[in-house]
C-alpha cells in the first residue's frame, strides 16, 4: 500500500495532537516504511519525538492511556536478541488497532549529533554507537508531522548537499567488505564449510552492495527492511540490477548454486567499481 502524506497525517493526527499539547515537544517526524511510501496494512507508524524532554515512563504511560482507543502500551520496548541502538525513551502502543512506535530525542542532542556526523562521518556517538550516519538517513527520508517553529525543517536543511567525505567513506568501507565477503564465499565453496556460514557472508555482502549503491547515488540509506524497493528507484544502477539481485537471493544454495552466485557477485562488484569510476 503506497501511502501519501495526507493519509499519513490523518492516521497520526490523534497521536500528534497529544504530543503538540506537551510544551516540551518541538517537533514530530514520521520515519520508516510509512514515511517512505512503502507501507502495507500491517506496518507500524514510527515517530521521532524531538524536544526538551524530561518525560518519565509513568508520566508517558498516563499521557497515552488518557487517550481514547489506546491499548497494549509498553515503555522502553525492545526486540528480544537485539541491542537497542537508541539510548533514549521509547514507547509502543496501539491506537485504533494501529501500532505506533515512538522514540523521544533531545533537541540539543539531535542538533549536535547531526553536526558531528556531517563534519566527521567517523565519529562515534554514545547514544547511537552503531552507524551513527544512519541517523541522517532517518531524518532525510522523514515526513514532518509537527514543527511549529520550523526546528525540524532547519535540521533537515543541513543534510543537503550530500557530504562528499561521507560518500567517500561509505564507498571505501563497502568496497572492502564486498571484496572480503566474496572471498569468504569462495572459500566456503572450496572447503564445503556449509550453508549457514555461506548465508552469513552473503548477508554481509548484500548489505555492503546496498551501502555502496546508496552512497554512489548520494542518497542517505533509508534504513528500511524493504531494501529492494528502495534500491530499484536509484538512478545509477548496474544493468538489469534488480532482477539479477533478486535471482541471487533465491538460490538454490547447493554446491552448483553457490559456485554460480560467487561468480555472479564478482561480476556485479566489478560493475559497481566501474560505475563508481564513471560518476
Instruction: Provide mean pLDDT across the span 108-135.
Output: 85
- The grid coordinates of residue 17 equal 495532537
Q: With contact defined as beta carbons under 8 Å apart, do 136 and 118 qualify? A: yes
pTM for the model: 0.91
- The grid coordinates of residue 248 equal 541471487
Could you tell me which of 32, 23, 24, 51 has the C-alpha nearest to residue 111? 51
The model's pLDDT over 214-270, given as tens digits with 9 standing for 90+, comes to 999 999 999 899 999 999 999 999 999 999 999 999 999 999 999 999 999 999 999
Locus of grid cell 509537527 = 146
The average confidence (pLDDT) of the chain is: 91
Three-state SS at 17: helix
* pLDDT range class, residue 128, cuts 50, 70, 90: confident
* pLDDT range class, residue 131, cuts 50, 70, 90: confident
Q: Quote the pLDDT of residue 85.
A: 53
The model's pLDDT over 61-83, given as tens digits with 9 standing for 90+, comes to 888 888 899 998 888 766 665 55
- CB under 8 A, 24+ apart: contacts of 51-56: 51/22, 51/24, 51/25, 51/26, 51/27, 51/104, 51/106, 51/107, 52/24, 52/26, 52/106, 52/107, 52/108, 53/24, 53/25, 53/89, 53/104, 53/105, 53/106, 54/24, 55/22, 55/24, 55/89, 55/104
Q: Quote the pLDDT of residue 53.
A: 80
CA distances from 104 to 21, 92, 146, 169, 183 (A): 15, 12, 14, 29, 42
- The grid coordinates of residue 33 equal 516504511
The model's pLDDT over 137-161, given as tens digits with 9 standing for 90+, comes to 999 999 999 999 999 999 999 999 9
Choose the weakest-confidence range: 61-65, 116-120, 207-211, 265-269.
61-65
Could you tell me which of 67, 5, 55 has the C-alpha nearest to residue 30? 5
Q: Quote the pLDDT of residue 18.
A: 93
Q: What string of H, E and C letters represents the secondary structure of 179-235? A: HHHHHHHHHHHHHCCCHHHHHHHHHHHHHHHHHHHHHHCCCCCCCCCCHHHHHCCCC
Percent of the chain clearing pLDDT 90 (strictly above): 72
Instruction: Provide mean pLDDT across the span 80-87.
Output: 55
> In the predicted model, is pLDDT for residue 2 greater than 60?
no
Three-state SS at 114: helix
> In the predicted model, is pLDDT for residue 1 greater than 50?
no
DSSP 28-53: EEEESHHHHT---TT--EEEEEEES-
Instruction: Provide mean pLDDT across the span 34-38.
Output: 92
> In the predicted model, is pLDDT for residue 98 greater than 50?
yes
Amino acid at each position: 500500500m503506497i501511502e501519501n502524506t495526507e493519509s499519513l497525517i490523518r492516521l497520526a493526527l490523534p497521536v500528534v495532537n497529544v504530543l503538540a499539547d506537551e510544551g516540551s515537544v518541538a517537533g514530530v517526524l514520521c520515519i520508516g516504511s510509512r514515511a517512505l511510501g512503502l507501507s502495507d496494512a500491517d506496518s507500524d507508524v514510527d515517530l521521532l519525538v524531538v524536544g526538551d524532554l524530561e518525560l518519565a515512563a509513568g508520566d508517558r504511560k498516563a499521557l497515552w492511556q488518557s487517550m481514547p482507543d489506546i491499548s497494549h502500551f509498553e515503555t522502553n520496548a525492545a526486540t528480544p536478541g537485539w541491542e537497542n541502538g537508541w539510548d533514549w525513551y521509547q514507547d509502543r502502543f496501539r491506537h485504533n488497532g494501529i501500532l505506533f512506535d515512538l522514540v523521544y530525542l533531545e533537541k540539543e542532542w539531535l542538533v549536535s549529533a547531526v553536526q558531528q556526523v556531517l563534519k566527521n562521518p567517523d565519529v562515534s556517538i554514545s547514544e547511537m554507537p552503531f552507524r551513527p550516519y544512519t541517523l541522517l538517513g532517518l531524518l532525510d527520508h522523514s515526513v514532518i508531522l509537527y514543527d511549529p517553529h520550523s526546528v525540524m525543517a532547519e535540521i533537515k536543511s543541513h543534510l543537503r548537499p550530500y557530504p562528499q567525505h561521507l560518500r567517500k567513506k561509505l564507498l571505501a568501507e563497502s568496497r572492502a567488505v564486498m571484496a572480503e565477503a566474496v572471498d569468504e564465499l569462495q572459500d566456503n565453496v572450496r572447503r564445503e564449510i556449509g550453508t549457514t556460514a555461506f548465508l552469513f557472508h552473503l548477508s554481509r555482502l548484500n548489505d555492503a552492495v546496498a551501502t555502496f549503491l546508496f552512497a554512489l547515488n548520494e542518497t542517505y540509506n533509508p534504513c528500511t527492511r524493504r531494501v529492494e524497493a528502495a534500491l530499484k528507484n536509484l538512478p545509477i544502477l548496474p544493468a538489469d540490477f534488480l532482477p539479477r539481485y533478486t535471482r541471487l537471493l533465491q538460490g538454490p544454495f547447493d554446491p552448483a548454486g553457490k559456485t554460480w552466485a560467487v561468480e555472479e557477485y564478482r561480476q556485479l562488484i566489478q560493475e559497481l567499481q566501474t560505475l563508481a569510476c564513471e560518476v
